[in-house]
Amino acid sequence: MRGFMLRLDTGLMVIILCLLTWNNGEAQVTTFPNQVPTPGQTFVPVPVVFFTPETNWAFGARASYTFHLDSLRQTPSTIQIGGLYTLRKQFISNLSFNLYRPEKRWELAGEVGYYDYVFKYWGVGNQSSELKRETYSVTYPSVVITPAFVLSKYWRIGLTTEFHKYSRLQLDEEGELKRLQTTGVDGGNVNGVGIQLRFDSRDHTIFPINGVYASAKSVIYNSYWGSDYSFVASELDLRHYQNIAGGIIWASQFLTTFRTGPEIPFYHLSLLGGPNMMRGHFEGRYRNQNMWAVQSELRLPVWRRFFVVPFASFGDVFDFEKYQRSIKFAGGMGLRYIVDHQNRVNIRADVAYGHHFQFYLSILEAF
């Protein structure tokens, strides 16, 4: 429930992929140069059709628009929009954006979405069994806005605001959520305000070749701003990128999240898995108050506009009171196709194995 990303689940899957691209730069091959002619703008739509037992037939699309607000045209801004509709009358719509205006000393990131969808739940903890799997449906609008002030070349400080309203929860009659009346089953508002501090020395925001990214964020959910639940969510995100030889890029990430407080709804616990971290595990396959994970990948230019990307990851969920370590592993192989060489925009297709095989199709990198 962290934004719309196409994930092709097990079972019968029918994928219709149509890549329609427009860019006003010259085609390049193999790798990205440090300096390019003045970058333009790129629009990339990806329509898709698939089938799963939970959704029946589903029809969706995602598109990415890359452009420049900075006068030097060195830091591309992106807007991504996605939608999904199923024959079970489920619906997801999502708009996310990252806007950069460094000469005006501001940046703006955010996500606006509306979700009426079915999700899976395996219970809390790192020992949850596949036999405990249940599904629940929920409807909620979501708004996350993070304006940031540019302190210096590398440092930013920002204010994070989040607003979610959960309603129309439908639970399995014999499932754990309903039987235990888990925190969050009544729905309600989950609103938070927090602060974020970032260090960013990456040479590029979309596809870095060298540099470091570090972000620390803490959000307080409280009745002061209309939240029905009181807790604190914190996150530390560290990334490193290095061109090790001949355009081969080594990218690594460490991510940890913490939840503290008396009332943490189950849909806001720390989740392990998904299309961006621990690919190969279904998002939320394991959940608890806290989570840590590490992933690393090699981005290998192979031919013309194609990259091959082997990747691996490991991590765990836990709480501080009774932590029994049970580290999960995942890995896989990806293919990248450069649709805009100047702005470094890629189509990403990954196949990964963790708990099961998972397939992912998206625009832009996982991290």
What's the token pair of residue 223?
């009745």
**For range 96-122, the mean pLDDT:** 93
Q: Side chain identity at 29, as an amino acid letter? A: V
Q: Is 282 exposed, middle or buried (0-12, 13-18, 19+ CB in 10 A)?
A: buried
pLDDT at residue 188, as a whole number? 97
Q: Which residues pair with 210 in a beta bridge?
A: none
pTM for the model stands at 0.85
**Residue pair 217/235 in contact by the 8 Å Cβ criterion:** yes
22-32 pLDDT, tens digit each: 343 333 445 55
Q: Mean of the pLDDT values across residues 241-246? A: 92
What's the CA gap between 156 and 106, in Å, rounded? Answer: 9
213 contacts: CB under 8 Å, gap ≥ 6: 198, 199, 200, 201, 202, 237, 238, 239, 240, 241
Q: What's the rounded Cα separation, in Å, for the pair 79 and 99?
A: 8
Residue 270: which pLDDT band, with cuts at 50, 70 and 90? very high
Distance (Å, rounded) from C-alpha 242 to C-alpha 146? 28
How far apart CA 101 and CA 17 sit, in angstroms, is 34
Confidence of residue 324 (pLDDT cuts 50, 70, 90): confident
Q: Mean pLDDT over residues 268-277, rounded?
A: 94
What CATH number should be reported for the domain whose range is 7-363?
2.40.160.50
Q: Which residues pair with 149 in a beta bridge?
A: 106, 157
- Rounded-to-integer distance, Cα 270 and Cα 287, Å: 5
Least confident of 42-56, 186-200, 208-222: 42-56
Domain ranges in the chain are: 7-363
Of 14-18, 103-107, 112-116, 140-144, the poorest mean pLDDT is in: 14-18
